[in-house]
Structure formats: structure tokens, C-alpha cells
Amino acid sequence: MAAERAYFRLKMDLGVFSPWMLKERINLFVYDDQESYLGGEFKPPAWSNGLAIYERRAVALAAMRDPRKLAQVMAHETTHLLFDGFWRNARREPPVWINEGLAMLEEADLPDKPETSGWYQRMAYTEPKSFPSLDAFFAVTPTNDLHDDQNAVSQWYVQAYSLIHFLLRKHSRLQFKSFCVHMRDGRPVAQSLWLAYRYRSVADLEMKWRLWLADPIHKRRIAALSTAERRGVDEGGESGASRKNGSFKGFSTGSGGFSRDSGGLP
């Protein structure tokens, strides 16, 4: 049931990027445990518990005791499977901030209630001024530039999530698709923003995005969560929201898609 819910949600958001998913099934391999997953046919990195394999239209996962975490990893990896193919068809790679931000956004089960996501909560309680400028943010590739700085890595991923949330959820899917098409065709970010969203510049987007971030409605929505919804996040929701320690690899992109460490963290 979780797989079908995730598939339906991803089809709504990402079907325009991967029309093949309307005719072909996605192959989902769920191994009994971490050991069998690591020893399976896909030979994933030792620190991962999920992997997308584009050539096979497949996602491989290690089973987890918490089904919510398993569903999140499944949605995250499937997002990479669907979105990466859109760029590969043009022999290009997606910008890391779009690829990772989109995958984190799609982890959530309730796109109409984003406050249940730990990523959203982390975003809401981060001071907007603490995020670097978008020009600086776009220039960063975490695996190359952040050198195992856990705080910097975590902040980069929260910023990626928040920016994609703004571009996709606060605008239309067609605008987001248009933006990605222009980026894939090699146009710079500023030109792509103008053509898709009519933002005059990166600075124009940044101003609107930071105003949205500062809106007190985000904290009010979180405060209105029920006890059960809060427990879902605290006990196993988007795991990046409360991560304090761990290796940089837990945030890194593996071959064929985003791979998460065995702690089930982003």
C-alpha cells in the first residue's frame, strides 16, 4: 500500500519527466536485511540502504523495522530513478541541488500537509538569514566542497529542500517542468527562471523565497499538528530533521542515485 501511494504521488509530480512510467512498471527489490542487500546483485556501497538503478528501471532497498522509513527511502530513490532519466536522455546530469531537493521533497506522504515532514520542520526553525545566497548555494556540490562539515552539509540539504518546495509546491508543476527543461537544455539559472517563472533574476527569486521562509505560517502549521502526527515525525519521520551526528556519506549521491547510510538518514 505504501508503494502504491508513493507511486501515485510520484506519477502526479514526476510523470511529465518520465512518461515511460505510464506504460512500464518500476522494479522494486526489497532485501530481508542490510547484509542480504549489500550482498545482492546490485553491489551497493557498504554505507547505503537504498539505490536507484536507471538501466533496470529498478530501486533496491534494505528492509527496515520502521515501515515509514522504508517508504521514505523508497520514495527518495524512486524520485532519482524518474528524474535522472529525464536528464540522461539529453546526456546531461541534473544540478545536485535540484536532484537532491526534489528527492527529499518526495519523501513525504502528505504533500498537502508538509508540516508533518521533518525537513519542513527543520526549514521552519532555521533562521532565513543563516542560509547563504543562492548564487553561492548553486555553486556548491556537497561531496566536493563541504569536506565532511556536518553542519554545513545539513544546512545545504535543508536549503535544497526548501527551495524545491517553493519552486514546485508554491508554483505549478508545468512551471517546474519548464524550468528543468530550460536548465537541461543548457540555459543558465537566471534565464531559466525568467522563462519558466518570470523571475527577473536569481536575486528576484531569492527575495521571494526568503520572504516565504520568514512567513510565521510555517511555525503555526507545525504547532497545530496532532500528538499522533508529532510522534510520527519524532519516532521515524523525515530522519534528517533531527540528525546530530554521522558520516558525510549519509548525505551523498551514490552511483545511479542517492544512497543513504544504514541509519536511514538523508
Q: What does the block give as the cell for 27?
A: 522494479
- Give tens-digit pLDDT for 123-158: 999 999 999 999 999 999 988 888 778 889 999 999
pLDDT of amino acid 109: 67
The C-alpha atoms of residue 161 and residue 163 are separated, in whole angstroms, by 6
Q: How far is CA 236 from CA 108, 111, 114, 239, in A?
A: 12, 17, 15, 6
Per the DSSP assignment, residues forming a β-bridge with 54 are none
What is the spatial distance between Cα 38 and Cα 46, in angstroms, rounded to a whole number?
6
Regions of the chain where pLDDT drops below 70: 109, 228, 230-266
pLDDT at residue number 104: 93
Beta carbons of 183 and 192 less than 8 angstroms apart: yes
Please report, for the chain, the start and end positions of each structural domain, with discontinuous segments joined by +.
2-258
Q: What is the pLDDT of residue 231?
A: 56
Alpha carbon distances (Å) from 9 to 78, 91, 132: 11, 27, 31
Q: What is the pLDDT of residue 42?
A: 93
DSSP summary character for residue 252: -
CA gap 8, 261 in Å, rounded: 26
| Model pLDDT for residues 188-229, shown as the tens digit of each residue | 999 999 999 999 999 999 999 999 999 999 999 999 998 767
Name the DSSP letter for residue 254: E
Residue 233 is predicted with a pLDDT of: 56
Backbone conformation region of residue 200, classed left if phi is above 0, alpha if psi is from -120 to 50, else beta:
alpha
Cα–Cα distance measured from residue 81 to residue 88, given in angstroms and rounded to the nearest whole number = 11
Return the amino acid letter for 37. Y
Give the pLDDT score at 222: 94
